[in-house]
Amino acid sequence: MTEQNYPPGIAYLDGRYVPMSEAKISVLDWGFLRSDATYDVVHTWRGRFFRLDRHLERFERSVAKLRMTLPFGRDELVEVLRGCVSRAGLEDAYVEMICTRGVSPTFSRDPRDAVNRFIAFAVPFGWILRPEARERGLNVAVSRVQRIPPQSVDPTVKNYHWLDLVAGLFEAYERGAENVILTDGEGNVAEGPGFNVFAVAQGRVTTPDRGVLEGITRLTAIELCAELGRPVDIAALPVEALHAADEVFVTSTAGGIMPLTRLDDRPVGDGRPGPVTRTLIGLYWAKHEDPAWTTAVRV
C-alpha cells in the first residue's frame, strides 16, 4: 500500500511522531484481534480543540474501566495531541486517542499479562453530514438489528464493537437510507454509528437514557438546551415517539448537531430542519469561538 492511500496527518506511537502511512500495530495486538481497546475523538476547529477536558475525562474513565493504564498523565497526553495536530499542519482536525490491550510478551491468553499500548493521530476533520447538506438533513432508517445490550458491553466506554452497527448500515442502504439508528430490542431508540439521537415534541427534547455512549456532543446539546431554558428528558425514547416527533436531530463529534429530516422513508415534521434544531446548530458553532469551551492547539 502506498502513502497516497492514507489521509494526510500525523500519528504518535512508540514515543515518536510518524506519517499516517507508518502508523502500524502488531497483528497480535488484542486491540486488533479482540476489539480489546478504547478510544476517544476530539476535534479542532480553526486551531482550537473543542471541549478537550470533557473528552480527556471520558477517555481516562474508559481506560480505567477496562483495567488498562496510560504511559503518562493528563498534561503529557495533551501535549501529544497538540503535537499530532501541529505537525500535521491542520486547523480543522479529527484527533483520536486510543489505548489497546496490547501484546503479551509471552503470548499468554491472560489479559493481565499484556502490555497496553497508546496511539494518537490527527487527520482532516470528517463529517457525518457536511454543512452544505445541512438544509437537506439526514435520511435515516431504524434497523431491525438490536444494539449490543449494556449488560454485555458497557456503552459508556467508547469502543470498536461495531458489527451490529455495520449490519444495520447495510440494511439501511438496502432500504434507500444513508444512515441507521439501532434499537435496544424493547422498542426503544438506542443510537447510530457514532451519533446520539434527540427527538423534539411539543417543545420538549428527549434523548435515550440507556444503551448509548454518553457523547460529548450529546452533553453539549443538553447544556445548550439548558441555556435556552428548554427542558430535556433523558429517558426511554420509543421508536413510535421518534416517528411522531416534530423534529429529530443527532449529535456527534463528526459534524456537531445535525438535522434528521427523513426517517424510514417518511419526512420528519415538514421535512426540513426545525426551529429548535436550527437554534442549537447556531449556538453549537458559536461556542467554538468561546475560550471557556475551547483550548488552543498552539500555546
Please count the residues of the chain. 299
Pick the CATH number of 3-124 from 3.40.1280.10, 3.30.565.10, 3.30.470.10, 3.30.2020.30: 3.30.470.10
Handedness of CA 75, 80, 83, 89 (dihedral sign): negative
Helix (H, G, I), strand (E, B) or coil at 294: strand
- pLDDT tens by residue, the chain, 299 residues: 445 688 899 999 999 999 999 999 999 999 999 999 999 999 999 999 999 999 999 999 999 999 999 999 999 999 999 999 999 999 999 999 999 999 999 999 999 999 999 999 999 999 999 999 999 999 999 999 999 999 999 999 999 999 999 999 999 999 999 999 999 989 999 999 999 999 999 999 999 999 999 999 999 999 999 999 998 999 999 999 999 999 999 999 999 999 999 999 999 999 999 999 999 999 999 999 999 999 999 97
For residue 21, what are the CA distances in angstroms to 7, 33, 88?
8, 21, 13
pLDDT of residue 6: 84
Would you give the DSSP letter of residue 269? T
Measure the CA angle with vertex 109, ends 103 and 113; round to 5°: 55
pLDDT of residue 285: 98
Question: Could you give the CA distance from residue 212 to residue 191 in angstroms, rounded to a whole number?
Answer: 6
Question: Could you give the CA distance from residue 234 to residue 230 in angstroms, rounded to a whole number?
Answer: 13
Concatenated DSSP letters of 132-148: GGTTT-EEEEEEEEEPP
Number of Cα atoms under 13 Å in the Cβ half of residue 26: 16
> 3-124 and 131-288: same fold?
no
- For residue 272, what are the contacts with CB-CB under 8 A and spacing of at least 6? 135, 137, 259, 261
pLDDT of residue 4: 61
pLDDT of residue 7: 86
Question: Could you give the CA distance from residue 151 to residue 168 in angstroms, rounded to a whole number?
Answer: 20
Number of Cα atoms under 13 Å in the Cβ half of residue 215: 27
Q: In CATH terms, is domain 131-288 a member of 3.20.10.10? A: yes
Residue that is written with C-alpha cell 482550537 in the block? 48
Contact 239, 188 (CB under 8 A): yes
Q: Buried (b) or exposed (e) across 41-78, using 16+ Cβ within 10 A?
A: bbbbbeebbbbbebbbebbbbbbeebebebeeeeeebb
Q: Specify the pTM.
A: 0.95
Question: Could you give the CA distance from residue 104 to residue 92 in angstroms, rounded to a whole number?
Answer: 37
What residue spans define the domains of the chain? Answer: 3-124, 131-288
pLDDT of residue 5: 82
Contact 105, 52 (CB under 8 A): no
The predicted-structure confidence for 37-83, as pLDDT tens digits, reads as follows 999 999 999 999 999 999 999 999 999 999 999 999 999 999 999 99
